């Protein structure tokens, strides 16, 4: 199982939120580049980057920060505020491995279809769920879509990777919803990445039998519950 350390950006800094609430912001570093370099040095093979300002506003205020991170190498995916072809292309051209569509995947299926046609597996979809419903616009608005059913719909559209976030567990560090991820991972055509709730290495290892492709880890690393190297080793079964 692959490990995706997270770098969430607000006002150019690396931050973490609790349950997606913007008023819970905690700044961990004013240099996302230093955080990125440390994660790579500790053995990270993948990096998950989110422009939280962009997710909320639909703009790209942290674009230059992401550009600097992409230039540092590694397998990177970026989400937050990507709502048209031009913006997606600008990220992919700077060296980002994949773009993550969230709000756009829910509200603009034509854009999703066009992006998949143009870039295929370089397009992932973020499905952010609270109380069973998909949330959009930086998790601040509830859509009409059921989380699990929406993932099935994405698979039918040709999406190959889904990042499924349990908002109620995000930043709480009390474990993941193993049952839901087991159901999602039954679709072998999808790479499911679990997000939200990791607090211990045991939480990481509990996900391995579900068959998910990967897990995103944020606050547990920043709060030094364990290291990226520890998580990578656990994901590799070592």
- What residues are annotated to the active site? 8, 128
Spell out the residues 6+ positions from residue 233 whose beta carbon is closer than 8 angstroms to its own: none
Token duo for residue 110: 């034509």
Distance between CA atoms of residues 127 and 192, nearest Å: 10
Q: Are 134 and 127 in contact (CB under 8 A)?
A: yes
**CA 227/CA 221 separation, integer angstroms:** 6
Helix, strand, coil percentages (3-state) for the chain, rounded to 5, are 40, 30, 30
* CA atoms in the 13 A half-sphere facing the CB of 13: 10
In the numeric block, the tokens 């908002």 are attached to: 167
Give dist(CA 101, CA 184) in Å, integer: 18
Provide CB contacts within 8 A for 216, sequence distance 6+. Answer: 4, 5, 6, 48, 163, 165, 193, 194, 195, 196, 198
């Amino acid at each position: 199982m692959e490990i995706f350390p997270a770098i969430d950006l607000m006002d150019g800094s690396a931050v973490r939120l609790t349950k997606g609430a913007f008023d819970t912001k905690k700044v961990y570093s004013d240099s996302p580049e230093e955080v990125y370099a440390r994660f790579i040095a500790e053995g990270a093979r993948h990096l998950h980057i989110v422009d939280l300002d962009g997710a909320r506003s639909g703009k790209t205020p942290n674009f230059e920060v992401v550009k600097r991170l992409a230039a540092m190498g590694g397998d990177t995916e970026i989400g937050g505020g990507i709502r048209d072809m031009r913006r997606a292309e600008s990220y992919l051209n700077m060296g980002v491995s994949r773009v993550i569509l969230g709000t756009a995947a829910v509200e603009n299926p034509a854009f999703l279809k066009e992006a998949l046609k143009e870039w295929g597996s370089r397009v992932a979809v973020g499905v952010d769920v609270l109380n069973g419903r998909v949330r959009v616009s930086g998790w601040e608005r509830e859509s009409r879509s059921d989380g699990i059913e929406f993932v099935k719909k994405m698979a039918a559209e040709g999406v190959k990777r889904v990042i499924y976030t349990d908002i109620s567990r995000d930043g709480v560090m009390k474990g993941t919803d193993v049952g839901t991820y087991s159901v999602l991972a039954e679709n072998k055509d999808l790479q499911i990445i679990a997000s939200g709730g990791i607090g211990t290495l045991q939480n990481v290892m509990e996900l391995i039998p579900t068959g998910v492709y990967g897990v995103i880890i944020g606050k547990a690393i920043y709060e030094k519950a364990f290291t990226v190297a520890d998580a990578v080793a656990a994901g590799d079964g070592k």
